[in-house]
């Protein structure tokens, strides 16, 4: 039987980066958003991938994450690169930072970690407190995919060729359970190593449909500036896999 390790998705940064880490194709789009910004807030920074790129552009950067293990890797990388980043251990639901930022980034599906309505309310309240009037927020997240939402929750599905983590793990199969009331998609991945050991990891993620996403930002006091179906400005239609959005804080 597979060993369950459902709380450990972010506890081993090397495994996470090798098996689920971002491909990096988002950087040109995020880089295009920094024009005119001096202070940038990188939310759900993880191991600091985006924050370090921003710091390399000469910006004042604050990277926030709730995982001590991920932040430890980020700090070590900043030190090795000679880059200065203000790393903060904090939860997206309780943002309270002393600075006000020109731009906030929430890359790689970070908003989807907020699964409860009260989580979203607390996030937007904290986000507004971190941004001055006219400051912007840019983010990307998955566009809900009907084929995945309609999967049999008891069935395991094959995955495309997976990388191998430093500890020797590979993703063998995935399972999805959709709750239409909470709009939470819980995905489980079965991992295996060369010795035949199996384990599973789990991640619940809130699914945001496009009109709902826009409404959330507008009700929170933001003006929508851009909303696309990909990093190259693809139309937001049935063929899209991602949503990318830019909004400006009113007032």
Q: pLDDT (tens digit, 9 = 90+) per residue, 59-87?
A: 999 999 999 999 999 999 999 999 999 99
Secondary structure letter of residue 112 according to DSSP: G
**Calpha distance 184→191 (Å, rounded):** 22
User: Each residue of 210-237: pLDDT tens digit?
Assistant: 999 999 999 999 999 999 999 999 999 9
Q: Report d(CA 171, CA 169) in Å as an integer.
A: 7
Q: Does residue 99 come out as left (phi exceeding 0), alpha (psi in the -120 to 50 range) or beta?
A: beta
Query: Are 34 and 114 in the same domain?
Result: yes
CATH number at residue 198: 2.20.25
d(CA 231, CA 44): 19
**pTM of the predicted model, to two decimals?**
0.94
Answer whether residue 96 is part of any domain.
yes
Q: Whole-angstrom distance between the N-terminal and C-terminal Cα of the chain?
A: 56
Q: Which strands sit side by side in the sheet containing 170-179, from one edge to the other? A: 3-4, 198-206, 184-192, 170-179, 157-158
Domain shared by 65 and 172, yes or no = no
Residue 149 domain flag: yes
Domain of residue 155: give its range: 145-206
Are residues 134 and 213 both part of a single domain?
Answer: yes
CATH assignment of the domain containing 39? 3.40.50.150
Q: Do both 41 and 134 map to the same domain?
A: yes
Statement to judge: residues 108 and 79 lie in one domain: yes
Strand partners, 176: 187
Is residue 28 predicted with pLDDT exceeding 70?
Answer: yes
**Do residues 119 and 150 share a domain?**
no
Contacts of 146 (CB under 8 A, 6+ apart): none
């Amino acid at each position: 039987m597979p060993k369950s390790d459902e709380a450990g998705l972010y506890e081993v940064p090397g495994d996470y980066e090798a098996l689920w880490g971002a491909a990096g194709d988002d950087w040109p789009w995020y880089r295009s958003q920094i024009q005119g910004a001096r202070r940038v807030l990188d939310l759900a920074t993880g191991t600091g991938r985006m924050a370090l790129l921003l710091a390399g552009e000469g910006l004042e950067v604050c990277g926030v994450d709730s995982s001590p293990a991920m932040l430890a890797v980020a700090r070590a990388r900043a030190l090795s690169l000679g880059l200065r980043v203000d790393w903060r251990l904090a939860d997206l639901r309780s943002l309270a930072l002393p600075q006000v930022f020109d731009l906030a980034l929430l890359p790689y599906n970070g908003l989807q970690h907020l699964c409860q309505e009260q989580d979203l309310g607390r996030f937007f309240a904290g986000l507004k407190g971190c941004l001055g009037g006219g400051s912007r927020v840019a983010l990307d997240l998955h566009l809900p995919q009907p084929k995945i939402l309609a999967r049999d929750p008891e069935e395991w599905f094959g995955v495309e060729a997976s990388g191998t983590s430093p500890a020797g793990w590979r993703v063998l199969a995935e399972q999805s359970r959709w709750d239409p009331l909470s709009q939470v998609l819980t995905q489980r991945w079965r991992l295996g190593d060369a010795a035949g050991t199996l384990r599973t990891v789990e991640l619940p993620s809130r699914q945001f449909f496009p009109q709902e996403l826009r409404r959330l930002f507008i009700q929170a006091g933001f003006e929508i500036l851009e909303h696309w179906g990909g990093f190259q400005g693809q139309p937001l239609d049935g063929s899209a896999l991602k949503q990318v959005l830019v909004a400006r804080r009113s007032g």
